[in-house]
Amino acid sequence: MDAKKAAGEKAAEYISDGMRIGLGTGSTVYWTILRIGELVKEGLRIEAVPTSVQTEKLAREAGIPLLPFARLQAPLDLTVDGADEVSPKDELIKGGGGALLREKMIASFSDRFIVVVDHSKCVPELGRFPLPVEVVPFGWEMTSKQLGQMGCEPVLRMKEGAPFVTDNGNYVIDCRFGSIPNAGELTVELNKLPGVVENGLFVNMADLIVVGHSDGTVRTKSGS
């Protein structure tokens, strides 16, 4: 069995009737969304907030009732999302799909945040995956230079020959740090740069990590 499918489907087991949930973005949570769609068809009553236009489309196709984030009166019960790297301290790099800002906003407004990954995402230290940083298009060259001065190699993300544009109309600069020994400090420093909207470090946010393996088994680990 596909490791991503195993992890993604497992996370759907944490969803119960009446919940309002956040739906992440990517090829692992894809399986969670499909499974939730099946459960909805079987009678599960939930409402969901998507973290991207891509997920909104998928959730609609799966028949999942949607709720606008702006209308929430209280935190979501649960958000399920993928990650690009997970450290032994359960710190994450996210944003490989470019949805990091909405993902962070929605995970932050959730009582519980479940992360679904295949085993290859669990690393001894964050930083081999280039850290996505969402920046405003105005003066991005200057922001990129400032990011470079923080010890990384910054590269503007491109798509089909033009800068990749997020659902929020911003750019993404992928920052190759190589090693991120202190994610908590780095996330604060990055967000101090005026041109930065948000960065892909998720620190002290994950409540449960669901790790899928290629033999179809799944291990869960409580977030620290």
Binding stretches for ligand 5RP (CB under 6 A): 24-28, 81-84, 94-100, 103
189 is catalytic: no
Choice between 24 and 223, CB closer to ligand 5RP: 24
Task: Provide, rounded to whole angstroms, the least separation between the CB of residue 190 and ligand 5RP.
Answer: 16
Label the pairing between strands 47-50 and 196-199: unpaired
Choice between 27 and 146, CB closer to ligand 5RP: 27
Q: What would the DSSP string read from start to end of 127-195?
A: TSSPEEEEE-STTHHHHHHHHHTTTSEEEE-EETTEE---TTS-EEEEEE-S--S-HHHHHHHHHHSTT
Task: Provide, rounded to whole angstroms, the least separation between the CB of residue 149 and ligand 5RP.
Answer: 25
Residues marked as binding?
Answer: 25-28, 81-84, 94-97, 121
Closest C-alpha to 10, from 77, 80, 60, 59? 80
- Catalytic member of 9, 91, 103, 198: 103
- Cα-trace Rg, the chain: 17
Residues marked as binding for substrate?
Answer: 25-28, 81-84, 94-97, 121
Task: Provide, rounded to whole angstroms, the least separation between the CB of residue 56 and ligand 5RP.
Answer: 14
Choice between 132 and 195, CB closer to ligand 5RP: 132
| Residues comprising the chain, all counted | 224
- Please give the positions annotated as active site: 103
